[in-house]
Homo-oligomer: A and B are copies of this chain.
Amino acid sequence: VARWQPGAHGRLQQAAFELFEKRGFEDVTVAEIAERAGLTGRTFFRYFADKREVLFAGSEEFEQGFAEAVEGAPAAVAPLEAIGAGLGAVADFVETRREVATRRQQILDSNPELQERERTKLASLAVTGAEALRRRGVTDLGAAVAAEAGVLMFQVAFRQWVSEGGDGDLHQLIDDSLTELRAVTVDGSH
């Protein structure tokens, strides 16, 4: 098994995605994923806690990149703009994984338990963003509002991006949704 390790993570992920897409997330077992990847169940569990985590691995990594970008945004920018800088880092992460990201979303859309898990992850992202804003000196309420609204705008942009097959410019879609948020708060001429 040792010489397979370098690619084992990716092979397991690929096998899992194929099986989830073909037969539905619920009906696939870890043993089947491992077998399709030419690996053992034991190897699977070296990489993932369970089959669900194949779809959520790596989120700590981008959450940290998100927080660093929020904290590192220029001091003068508005809280929502600092969150926007963090979302730009998330978009960078997603855009290097266009195919995985769009296929993953389609798998999530087919299963309420996975959607619930995703909402929990997004709530965690908002909490992380709020913490980063508080370190910038933003008030508790302002930090919570900006982070939650920003993550919501990310979801709007991401859904649009997925609906276009992942070919669009996610950064631009995020900018558009943040711009729209500013507009609907102040502009009565819509």
Give me the interface of A with B, judged by CB distance under 8 Å. 76-81, 112, 116, 119, 137-139, 141-142, 144-146, 148-149, 152-153, 156, 176-177, 180-188, 190
**Number of this chain's copies in the complex:** 2
> Which among A119, A145, A182, A187 has the greatest number of chain B C-beta atoms within 10 A?
A145
Question: 7 closest pairs, A vs B, by CB?
Answer: A146-B184, A79-B184, A182-B185, A78-B188, A145-B180, A76-B188, A80-B185
A81 contacts which chain B residues (CB < 8 A)?
A: 188
**Among candidates B76, B80, B152, B190, residue contacting A139 with C-beta atoms closer than 8 Å:** B190
Given A137-B190, A142-B180, A185-B185, 17 more pairs with CB closer than 8 A:
A77-B188, A78-B185, A78-B187, A79-B190, A81-B188, A112-B116, A141-B156, A141-B177, A141-B180, A142-B184, A145-B153, A145-B156, A146-B184, A149-B149, A152-B152, A182-B185, A186-B186
